[in-house]
A and B are shown apart, each in its own frame.
Chain A
Amino acid sequence: MEAHPVDAWQDDDNLKEKISVGSPKTLDERCALAETCLTKLTLKIPPLVDDLANSTEIAYTAWPDRIYVLDREGNVAYKSYPGPFGFKPAEMADVLKRVLPGPSAQLK
């Protein structure tokens, strides 16, 4: 689900960047937008696309942006505050250092 589509709350920053996008009505439109996002932002993260009912967004209260870190058992190890105010990748990095298997984990 777009945060600032032209048919809702258009953002000044998007206007400056000449990003003018409407809310996608089909999954194909949503996938096309995601591909544009990957290209423009040169993202290397493997992206997945939520369904049009936004069921994953609802389950995670993820809109407009949010970060989760899950441990190896699939439990939530970190949940950021909702973006844009709470979107802090540095916090995620700190948690990742803790949950990723490192030298100390291998000793055990």
Chain B
Amino acid sequence: MPPWIWCSVGHVGKDGNESVVSCQSSVASLDNKPRFRVVPTAYCPLPTADRSPWGPNVETLKTVAWYVALTYVLMLAALFGVMRQPVLFGQVMSKVPRPLLMIIPLKPLWFLARAGHLQVGDQAPEFSLPTVDRKARVRLSSFRGQKPVVLIFGSYT
């Protein structure tokens, strides 16, 4: 149970102040000692340690802000996962409202999600792919030891 004070008011002076004539309290030293002056609006302040200086609305706002922040982080985590799956990414992004993209750190998230495992200095993975006319196949290893190779990945759209 929080600390409590019960006071009875015996006199209201001309200046509006009231005289406290008796008190009962959960704190023993306050019993029956008229040491308080109470404002006539019946406002009874709690002990400082138990009182929020901002009032109860700020606590509500803090809770709301916490849930908004949590939702935002979860959204980023979900988007990060989707970015790692190109087919799914296209389908998801087609449904995302454009204004939402303005509050997402798209570029750093994109760089992180699409970083891949291949690093500078690693042996390039082998492939053998057909030319556009499908009349020949090109094997990457056929260039090894001969000349540098540039790989430019892309698509029409």
A interface with B by C-beta (< 8 Å): 1-5, 8-11, 14, 19, 21, 27, 31, 33-38, 40, 45-51, 54-57, 59-79, 81-83, 85-86, 92, 96, 99-100
Contacts and interface: CB of A to CB of B under 8 A. Distances in A.
B142 to A, nearest CB: 10
A61 B114 contact: yes
A85 B111 contact: yes
29 contacts: A3-B90, A8-B90, A10-B94, A21-B156, A21-B157, A27-B130, A34-B156, A40-B156, A46-B131, A49-B132, A56-B129, A60-B153, A64-B155, A66-B153, A67-B151, A67-B152, A67-B153, A68-B151, A69-B148, A69-B151, A70-B148, A70-B149, A70-B150, A76-B123, A76-B124, A78-B120, A81-B111, A82-B116, A96-B148
B120 A3 contact: no
Contacts, number: 169
